[in-house]
Homo-oligomer: A and B are copies of this chain.
Amino acid sequence: MTEGERETIDFDRVETPVGYVDLGRIRANAERVVAYTSKHGLEWRPHIKTHKSLAVARMQLEAGARGLTVATLREAEVMATLTDDLLLAYPPVGAQKLQRLVTLPERLDLKVALDSDEVLLALGAAAAGAGREIGVLIEQDMGMKRVGLPSSDAVVALARRASETSGVCLRGVMFYPGHIRMSEEEQGGFIEDVSVRMAATLGALGDAGFEPEIVSGGSTPTVWRSHEMKGLTEIRSGSCIFYDREGLDIGVADESDIAYTVLATVVSTAVPGQAVIDAGSKALAKESRGGGGGFGIVLGHTDVTVTGVSEEHGVLDISRSDWRPKIGERVRIVPNHVCVSVNLQDHLLAFEGGRHVLLPLEGRGRGPWRS
């Protein structure tokens, strides 16, 4: 269904809290990333964990994204209906997940990132058993200390193993610079360090006779400095489709780029110095990020912070603001971390061309996708 075919929603009667997106800004944000990557000879394979929406993914592809990146089998099943180029940037572990993986459409150019013999061999066996070949990216840790092999030698060893394993095809390497979350100005030394480590790994792979077709990196905090990480072929940056408070703090976006907010309603002003809204940890998430404190800011009143959240309550500190919101008044909150807020919504309220529609979040949840 295209947005034009969706039912028009009466904005004044919409119940809050609800995730609220501006489709024009989403398109502009997508086009800006593609303009940047094109200029630097990179490609964009955005991670759709941020939005989990077919409509938003379609806009990313229309803007020029090369393909899509996913983390879960549900996301893969949904997004396989839109693109032939899919990266599962997550190790699939367990018989059920492997079964879902190898029954994705045969037409897909499917790649999987992994960091262990165990996952490689199980994936190869499952793929070979299904009579197909699945691409592999070897994941390296570049300092985040989450997943990924710790050294070039370990990457080369697993690449060799992949090249010898039937059912899989070595396609390249992947990393996620998720430890680089400081302001853009302070990122330089960290980006240089990643470049040095990438050069070492690419050199070692070359010495071993491997020429990675894909070198996949990128994050939203580093999005506009991706070209400084020499050797990259693509970035997966996902949050840059919506942005969030972290993006504002880091400096990769300004308020006019924010494409997602949580529409909320003031429900109490009984405690002096604050107003309480109906968006709490079950709409915004209670995720501390950055140094600003709190869990979000009010769009248009960025001096007002969501200083506390309970499950269905968000507390706005209005003690240093002239703004005096009234019970029943609507506000729009920029959450600290957009991806986890979107994941809490039933659907998104979308604005475009003077009207509002609801967008389903097809990739949300974990069960098999049935369109």
On whether the beta carbons of B90 and A147 are closer than 8 Å, the reply is no
**Measuring CB to CB, which residues of chain A are less than 8 angstroms from any residue of chain B?**
13-18, 49, 71-72, 90-91, 93-97, 115-116, 118-119, 139, 141, 145-150, 154, 178, 265-272, 274, 276, 278, 281-282, 285-288, 308, 310-313, 315, 326-328, 339-340, 343-344, 346, 365-367
Pairwise interchain contact A146-B339, C-beta atoms closer than 8 A: no
Residue from the list B141, B145, B286, B315 in contact with A287, Cβ < 8 A: B286
With contacts A116-B327, A269-B116, A285-B285 known, is A145 near B178, CB below 8 A? no
Closest to A119 in B: B327
With A288-B288, A365-B346, A366-B346 already in contact, the answer to whether A267 and B146 are too (CB < 8 A) is no
A290 to B107, CA, bound (A): 50
Q: How far is the CB of A221 from chain B (nearest CB, A)?
A: 13
Contacts of A95 in B (CB 8 A): 13
Most buried by B among A72, A91, A343: A91
**Complex alpha-carbon distance, A263 and B327, angstroms:** 41
- Contact across chains for A178 and B310 when beta carbons are under 8 A apart: yes
Which B residue sits closest to A365, measured CB to CB?
B346
Copies in the complex: 2
Residue of B93, B272, B278 touching A267 (CB-CB under 8 A): B93
Q: Is the CB of B281 within 8 A of A146?
A: no
Q: How far is the CA of A343 from the CA of B315 in the complex (A)?
A: 20
Given the known interface contacts A71-B311, A340-B286, A366-B346, the answer about A147 and B91 at a Cβ–Cβ threshold of 8 Å is no
User: Inside 8 A of A281's CB, which chain B residues have their CB?
Assistant: 285, 287, 340
Q: Name which residue of chain B comes closest to A49, CB basis.
A: B311
Q: How far is the CB of A269 from chain B (nearest CB, A)?
A: 7
> Which among B49, B139, B282 is the interface contact of A340 at CB below 8 angstroms?
B282
Contacts of A312 in B (CB 8 A): 49, 71-72, 90
Asked if B287 and A146 sit within 8 Å, CB to CB, the answer is: no
CA distance A366 to B262 in the complex (A): 14
Sorted nearest first, the 7 A-B pairs with minimum C-beta distance are A147-B268, A118-B327, A115-B270, A93-B267, A15-B96, A91-B267, A71-B312
